[in-house]
Amino acid sequence: MTEDTRSPPPSPRANDCKTTGTQVAETIAALKETIDGLTARVETLETKVETLNAENDRLRDRLDDQDDRLTVHDDRLSNHNDQLSNHNDQLSDHNDRLSDHNDHLTTQTITELDSRTEAIARKTDAIARKTAANKTRIEELQSRELEKGAHLRTDTVDPTTIAVPGDRLETLTKDDGHAYYRLPEQADPLDRRRPHRTTLTYGDLLPIQQLVRMDEDMLRSNASALPIRLAAKLWKARTDETIGDNPWKRGSASVREYVKASDLKHWIRRQERGVSDTYAKKLVSRTIDALLDLTKNRIAIRRKTERKNGLSYTERRIILPSDAEIPGETGRSQTTTGDRSKENTGIETCDRSSRGATDRTDTTGRSSRDTTDRSDSTDRSDSTDQSDATDRSDDTTRSAPETPGVHG
């Protein structure tokens, strides 16, 4: 028999105790595991609590800082509010002062304007009375001048108020293009030789005429270029009879006056001492260009064939046409045949003499076309001479007047 067979069978109570011990052990193990889990969880919760406490402390500190900052901002806002209140009070005071000042200025301005208006009204009345008195005096002076035979511009005379003998004025237009009043059949006693010539204003003149009116110093300051000054002197020699050296010559029916390029070259060398013949030739072209520009193309350049010693050559001529409109020189053009009169609103001007009479009174002393031709031949022969002595002799020959009726 085996041992098991020999041992007695366990009792039911022993089995129950054994089963209960096993269950208790299992329960204890389960409780131990539960306790370990709870312990770990408690530790975790303690860690979280500590973290939350730290975060809470940090947030409390920040809250305290924010509270302090809010307190500071509140104080600053209170200060700003007080300052704004003060500024508002100051602005109100300033606005009141401006209103008072505006009222004062308005009252003062109205008073001053009233005073000035009254003063201006008094001055205006005085000026009107003085103007009326001056107008009366001027009309009286104009009436006396008209009675003496004067010619007065129409834009300066009031024909409705001026008192003249017969209450009648005559209108005429002179060569300057302006209309004048005069008593019927009354010549101008202040300009009997040229009754229809009037003095032009500076702005009505050509540029060349404006330069001619200048003296030497003013001409140099306004015209730095030598050809411009030579052009002005050349034009002045044509219009001023007191200038002895005049290279211009009387032309034909369609040409009032002209000057040859060779004569102009010699004239330039006489005007500008020390100028060589080559440079004088260049100055001739430049002077011609300046003359064209300053006269606004009132002159013309023509080429004419000349003969000398059996040879023909072409030479330039500066031509002033008879129909060229030169301010202040309308009546200077010469007629070739017969008498000519100008008409101004039905009133005849003084008659001009014939070509022969004009030639006898011309400052150049040429009495006839034959004399002019002889002088032209002499000028052509003189132009070939290169010396200044010959130039001076040629100048003397051209400028010296000839005896009327004597040729050669």
* Three-class SS of 92-125: HHHHHHHHHHHHHHHHHHHHHHHHHHHHHHHHHH
Residue 377 lies in a domain: yes
173 and 275 in a single domain? The answer is no
> How far is 244 from 229, CA to CA, in rounded Å?
18
- Each residue's pLDDT expressed in tens, for the chain with a length of 408 residues: 444 455 555 566 667 777 888 888 888 988 988 998 899 989 999 999 999 999 999 998 989 999 899 999 999 999 999 999 999 999 999 999 999 999 999 999 999 999 999 999 999 999 999 999 998 889 889 888 888 888 888 998 888 888 888 788 888 888 788 888 888 765 555 444 444 444 556 667 899 988 988 888 888 888 889 999 999 999 999 888 777 789 999 988 899 999 999 999 999 999 998 999 999 999 999 999 999 999 999 999 999 888 888 888 899 999 999 988 888 775 444 433 333 333 333 333 323 233 333 333 333 333 333 333 333 333 333 433 333 333 333 333 333 333 222 222
Same domain, 214 and 168: no
DSSP code at position 320:
E
CA separation for the pair 156, 232 (Å, rounded): 34
Report pTM: 0.38
Q: Are residues 164 and 137 in the same domain?
A: no
Residues 188 and 206 in one domain: no
Helix (H) or strand (E) holding 293: helix 277-294
Residue 357 lies in a domain: yes
Contacts of 198 (CB under 8 A, 6+ apart): 174, 175, 176, 178
Task: Return left, alpha or beta for 365; rule: phi > 0 is left, psi -120 to 50 is alpha, else beta.
Answer: left
Residue 274's SS3 state is: coil
330 in any annotated domain = yes
The H or E element containing residue 305 is: strand 300-308
Chain centre to alpha carbon of residue 389: 50
- pLDDT of the residue at 188: 52
In a shared domain, residues 164 and 215: no
- Looking at residue 377, its pLDDT comes to 37
Considering the domain boundaries, does residue 5 fall inside one? no
Domain limits at 289?
202-399
In a domain, 296, yes or no: yes
In the prediction, which pLDDT does 318 show?
93
Overall domain count for the chain: 3
Instruction: Identify whether 247 is part of a domain.
Output: yes
User: Residue 307 has what pLDDT?
Assistant: 86
On whether residue 171 sits in a domain, the answer given is yes
* Residues 210 and 135 placed together within one structural domain of the fold: no
The answer to the question of residue 326 being in a domain is yes
Whether residues 191 and 64 fall in one domain: no
Same domain, 351 and 207: yes
Reference 256, options 164, 157, 325, 352; nearest CA is 325
Are both 237 and 179 inside the same structural domain?
no
pLDDT at position 98? 93
114 and 214 both lie in a single domain: no
Residues 339 and 218 in one domain: yes
157, 173, 199 — which closes off a domain?
199
Q: Which two tokens mark 255?
A: 């040409």
Regarding whether 210 and 74 lie in a shared domain, the answer is no
Q: Which of 119, 141, 163 is the last residue of a domain?
A: 141
E-strand stretches of 149-210? 152-153, 170-173, 179-182
For residue 102, what are the β-bridge partners?
none
